[in-house]
Amino acid sequence: MTADYVTLNRTGDKMPLRGFGCWKIDKKDAENTIYQAIKIGYRLFDGACDYGNEVEVGRGVNKAIKEGLVKREELFIVTKLWNTFHSKQHVRAAFDKQLKDWGLEYFDLYLIHFPIPLQYVDPSVNYPPEWYVPGADKLTYERSPIHECWAEMEKLVEAKLTRNIGVANFNCQAILDMLTYAKIKPAVLQIEIHPLLPQERLVKWVQEQGIQVTAYSSFGPTSYVDLSESGKTYQSLLANDNVKSIADKHNITTGQVLLRYALDRNIAVIPKSVHEDRMKSNLDIMNIQLDQEDNKVLSNLKTNQRFNDPMLFGFGLPLFD
């Protein structure tokens, strides 16, 4: 693979394969982290309402634009609609708040974060709303069908407020249903992908539908240590002996091995780091060539272990069963 992007359906927009994730970037660090990432060469930034740092991330983006480091049209900005805003009455207002928080005139890609319609929480009460209605100790759902939510997403495209729309954490059935009514086909599916959870069949089918795929959690359990209520501990893929052996063989880092693994499947990646050397390392993956033996070793790591799972977080929702 020589291209550094995938082409999105309908718009023909070129989405970079190497992006920067904004999850778990502390507010106090976000502006400078994003600014430095742009200086280093990142052009795709993946955010979300739920990350709670869109204002600060937006400041970093706008600082770089203002200083002439990059033009707005050279960036590819992604963010997501949270679960509590699925109602057709609330999608536009939630979107408008996010656009204002980022300080931008449009997004390049807007995703439904999860196919989970949770009860609405007014932003003045709690923002980001998180998973539970204030005072509740279990998930509270509302009757907000995805087809109505998607129709509102399509209106955002028609209003030229976002160039592309897509979904995250949807399975085949949810997407198949969406394709029966969508006027605008999803441009991207964002899902958890790493050697433990390669999701080969879903990725292949989705790509055959002309929908591009973005992988999150490329390093496996690294970001979920403090979230799981299962009591289990998992070794980071960054410290896995098999991944280390491949890294040593090519004189690269284990992180580069895991990111290149996704790129070889034409899947975009969005790693996050606040350390400049790792930012550079995570970006410097275009010229790495994993061979057949390397890919066999990585394929053998498959356990179908998922880390971004509401069941592991104690929410009692078997979303991926």
CA 127: distance to chain centroid? 20
CA distance 54 to 92: 17
CA 75: distance to chain centroid? 16
CA distance 177 to 189: 14
Q: Is 23 left (phi over 0), alpha (psi -120 to 50) or beta?
A: beta
CA distance 218 to 20: 12
CA distance 27 to 56: 6
Cross-strand bridge partners of residue 7: 14
Query: Following DSSP, what letter does each residue of 20-77 receive, concatenated?
Result: EE-TT--HHHHHHHHHHHHHHT--EEE--GGGS-HHHHHHHHHHHHHTTSS-GGG-EE
CB 118 within 8 A of CB 83: yes
Binding-site residue set:
113
Cα–Cα–Cα angle for 134, 140, 143, nearest 5°? 130
Binding-site residue set for substrate:
113
Q: Which residues are catalytic?
A: 51
CA distance 45 to 102: 12
Q: Tell the burial category of 315 from Cβ atoms under 10 Å away from its Cβ (0-12, 13-18, 19+).
A: middle
Return the beta strands (E) in the chain as ranges.
5-7, 14-16, 19-21, 44-46, 76-81, 107-112, 162-168, 188-192, 212-216, 268-269
CA 192: distance to chain centroid? 8
